[in-house]
Structure 1
Amino acid sequence: MKRLFGVIGDPISHSMSPMMHNNAFENLQIDGYYHPFQINPIDLPIAIKGMKAIGISGFNVTIPHKTSILSLLDRIDPLAKAIGAVNTVVREGNELVGYNSDGFGFIQALKERWKKNVANEKTLIIGAGGAAKAIYYSLAVEGVKYIDICNRTKERAQALVDNCPFPCETNILNLADASEYLNEYTLLIQTTSIGMSPNIHEIPFSLDKLSPKAHVVDIIYNPLETAFLMEAKKIGATTQNGIGMFVHQGAIAFEKWTGIKPDIVQMETIVLKQLGG
């Protein structure tokens, strides 16, 4: 009997995870199957009980369940608890344990595409939502000393910083100030939905003062190259989209479930094929 894995969300039909993980199972000759489960938020408590009852080996969690699932699991990893969101659940004995691999997936992709040691990079994160929080906390755990945050509402960004249990020096900026002092940063991370299809011509703010030595990441991957990354590239900065983060967070989950590292290149190829890239 195949080991069962999956992803829960609402909606879920757009997810690229099933094809990515099932291809990895096949390539590694693992007797497993990954299935998408569309679960209405009202039904989440009974769905998690059902997952445990049928003996599921692990599953991913996406919108809108990343936060609401915390109270339904047996244990939560300390980083996931600090972030306040779970995107990966692993069956450990008879317990369902929650993890968050988004931030470390981002860091692995960053190290792969840019540089191995990012601790001394002056960093600016745009946005203060769930993805920004996972990236901010994970960078702080990684030892990055200076991480500023800009957001339309300073209060939300301040709450993110105030609740972080890991040491980091941070200034909260509005969008205008971030644009003005942009040349101070060597790493720029765009975590909002600005520029996502179909609004592909939008950018958070002007990049006129961006340093050409900076590395600019946009965690969006549809389109594969946002207007934000196009502008950064024109200035001379190196750029990176969200494919790497998506693939690496999936690979971290896969290894937690199976104990085996999947082929990252093959996983990325599958995702790019699905996106038409």
Structure 2
Amino acid sequence: MRLFGVIGKPVMHSLSPTMMNAAFQAQGVDAVYLPFQVEPGDLVDALRGLRAIGAVGINVTIPHKLGVYDWVEARTEEAEMARAVNVVRFTPTGAVGHNTDVSGWWASVAPFLGEGSLKAAILGAGGSVQAILTALAKERPRSEVSVCCRRPEQAEALAQLYGEWLSVRHVAWPDRHEAIARADLVVQCTPIGMWPRVEESPVESPECFQPHQVVQDIVYRPLHTLFLRQAQARGAKVADGASMLIWQGVKAYEWWLEREAPVDVMQRAVYEALEREEANGHG
């Protein structure tokens, strides 16, 4: 039996084991996927231990994406551009780091988007934003991106990293509604509205949403955040955060196993788990 898993802290709430084990079972793959809670100070020992016991691959979540980026012997182009690793493949010659948050995020929004460069507004400047900017750099170069955050130095650092491909500018947090109103694509990357504070939204004036827009919240607990409900009420097309989780998992599965993933099975596993949580009053 082949071993896969996810490392992070916290990690026991992760839906990746539910999704991946359902995929293995559906395709008759003799494998198991387990969560491993790893303290930051134990990261290198954990990675060496997983390699020593023959693990095939792991996902990496908060707070380890940068530490693993530094640890692996080789990295893919996506990992290099995103400056982070969210998936590792252990090989006889060393560990390879990849970033499926990049292609996974793109797969979650691309069906809703037209051709050509975009005007995007991103709320927040945390680690997930680099994966999104990497995807835009690869798939929609020359797009204009407004990064709405409280610390201008974060947006300025992103502008330097991605300035070769994108026009990235800082928008002060109080001015976020104007940036949203001008955008074709709006992505919410802050924890605002996450369980249990489900009646919060980073948008105070929903009139900024437009019917032609694609709006995504990468929060998926709850699945239908107030932010998404506000956008949907104004006629925008919405994409939930679970879609990004699912598609990054699909891309990781295919990268590890070199076979097509059972997308429908993985989607059903995640959405059913989230629906059960909501029914039980969690998320």
Range of TM-score over shorter length: over 0.9
Superposed, 1:115-264 pairs within 5 Å as 115=113, 117-144=114-141, 145-164=143-162, 166-205=164-203, 206-264=205-263
Asked if the contact 1:22–1:33 (Cα under 8 Å) also holds between the matched residues in 2, the reply is yes
Asked if 2 retains the 8 angstrom alpha-carbon contact of 1:190 and 1:219, the reply is: yes
Q: Residue 154 of structure 2 aligns to which amino acid in structure 1? A: R
Which amino acid in the other structure matches residue 173 of structure 1? V
CA distance in 2, matches of 1:138, 1:226: 24
Contact 2:189 2:217 in 1 (8 A): yes
Match of 2:97 in 1: 98
Aligned residue identity for 1:191: C
Distance 1:228 1:44, change over 3 A: same
Following TM superposition, by how much is the alpha carbon of 1:111 offset from its aligned partner in structure 2, in angstroms? 2.1
2:17 is aligned with 1:18 = yes
1 CA distance for matches of 2:23 and 2:157? 39
Q: CA deviation at 1:249?
A: 0.1
SS at structure 1 position matched to 2:65: coil
SS in 2 for 1:134: helix
Quick one: distance in 2 between partners of 1:166 and 1:147? 13
Measure how far apart 1:121 and its partner are: 2.4
Q: How many residues align?
A: 274
More helix by share: 2
Note the residue ranges of structure 1 that are not aligned, 5 or more in a row: none
1:241 corresponds to which letter in structure 2?
D
CA contact (8 A) 2:217 2:240 kept: yes
Conserved in 1, the CA contact under 8 Å of 2:26 and 2:265? Answer: no
Give TM-score, length-normalised by structure 1: 0.93
Task: Give CA deviations for 1:91-142 in whole Å, capped at 9, x if unaligned.
Answer: 2333111111112101101124x13x45322111111100111111211111
* Alpha-carbon distance between aligned partners in 1 of 2:41 and 2:19, rounded to the nearest angstrom: 28
Unaligned runs of 5+ in 2: 277-283
Query: In the alignment, is residue 108 of structure 1 matched against residue 107 of structure 2?
Result: yes
Q: CA deviation at 1:40?
A: 1.5
Match of 1:81 in 2: 80
- Structure 1 runs of 4+ aligned residues shifted over 3 Å read none
SS in 2 for 1:6: strand
Q: TM-score, normalised by structure 2?
A: 0.92
